[in-house]
């Protein structure tokens, strides 16, 4: 990646392009596209390192555009912006290849930190992580321990290992949270281990995740993750 990364913001609303550009200008060279057609031209001409893609474009199916970007330029990171925060919208974005999904209303630190970490390659998922130990239950009745949490997914220490790419439903409750979380998730990797420092278990990425749930998870992570900063909602 170049010393000065290029960030392409794709949104048909001028205000949101300007707002996201204001958030991200310190992280690289920001370029813009107001439509899917402009985005395709900018991608071919500028070869951006990262695309911030609004999922409600008037001239094209943004989910299909995301698929095309990841198919033709797998090295480009795509951060999708969901307009309604519905769990189905989050799931659709993940399935079409988005590396992260941020729901409107935009919270500055959620977008900035995701983009910064993706560009810096500090984490495989580009998201801040909180180390914790919280009981978690799977839909099949298996129990385990949630030991590593981000807004995008988590690691579960458990004896039983599901198949990679299988989809599961989880239930867990964070400290001081009155409501439990019950997202669906995809298993992305497993670990066989007899070392207590690296417990046997598996990592998952959230699929169906409402926008308010993502914000609650993000708040918890930023309260408990090292070097996490607070943000402002716009």
Same-domain pairing of 103 and 143 = no
- Quote the pTM value: 0.73
Residue 229 lies in a domain: no
Domain boundary among 120, 152, 185: 120
Domain boundary among 100, 120, 140: 120
- The CATH number given to whatever domain includes residue 209 is 2.40.10.220
Alpha carbon distance 219, 192 (integer Å) = 31
Q: What is the mean pLDDT of residues 19-38?
A: 96
| 8 A C-beta contact, residue 119 and residue 2 | no
The pLDDT of residue 217: 86
Nearest to 97 by CA among 53, 163, 59, 143: 53
- Determine which of 46-55, 180-189, 215-224 has the lowest per-residue pLDDT on average: 215-224
Question: Quick one: residue 85, left, alpha or beta (phi over 0 = left, psi -120 to 50 = alpha)?
Answer: left
Q: Please name the residues in contact with 131: beta carbons below 8 A apart, sequence gap of 6 or more.
A: 147, 148, 224
Count structural domains, the chain. Answer: 2
Residue 112 lies in a domain: yes
pLDDT digits (tens, 9 = 90+) for 132-177: 899 999 988 899 999 989 888 999 999 999 999 999 999 999 988 8
Domain boundary among 120, 152, 167: 120
| 8 A C-beta contact, residue 136 and residue 145 | yes
Tell me the residue range of the domain where 184 lies.
130-224
The pLDDT of residue 226: 64
Q: 215 by DSSP, 3-state: which?
A: helix
Same-domain pairing of 188 and 146 = yes
């Amino acid at each position: 990646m170049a010393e000065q990364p290029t960030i392409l913001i794709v949104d048909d609303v001028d205000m949101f392009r300007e707002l996201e550009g204001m958030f991200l200008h310190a992280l690289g060279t920001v370029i813009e596209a107001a439509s899917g057609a402009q985005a395709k031209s900018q991608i071919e001409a500028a070869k951006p390192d990262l695309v911030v893609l609004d999922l409600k474009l008037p001239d094209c199916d943004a989910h299909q555009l995301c698929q095309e970007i990841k198919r033709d330029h797998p090295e480009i990171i795509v951060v999708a912006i969901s307009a309604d925060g519905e769990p189905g919208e989050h799931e659709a974005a993940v399935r079409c290849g988005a590396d992260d999904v941020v729901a409107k209303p935009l919270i500055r630190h959620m977008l900035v930190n995701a983009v910064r970490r993706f560009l810096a390659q500090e984490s495989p998922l580009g998201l801040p992580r909180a180390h914790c130990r919280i009981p978690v239950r799977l839909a099949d009745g298996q129990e385990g321990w949630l030991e590593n949490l981000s807004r995008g997914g988590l690691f579960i220490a458990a004896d039983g290992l599901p198949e990679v790419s299988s989809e599961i439903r989880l239930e867990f409750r964070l400290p001081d949270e009155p409501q439990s979380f019950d997202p669906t998730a995809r298993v992305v990797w497993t670990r066989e281990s007899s070392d207590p420092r690296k417990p046997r278990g598996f990592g998952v990425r959230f699929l169906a995740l409402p926008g308010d749930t993502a914000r609650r998870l993000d708040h918890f992570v930023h309260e408990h993750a090292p070097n996490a900063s607070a943000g402002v909602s716009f």
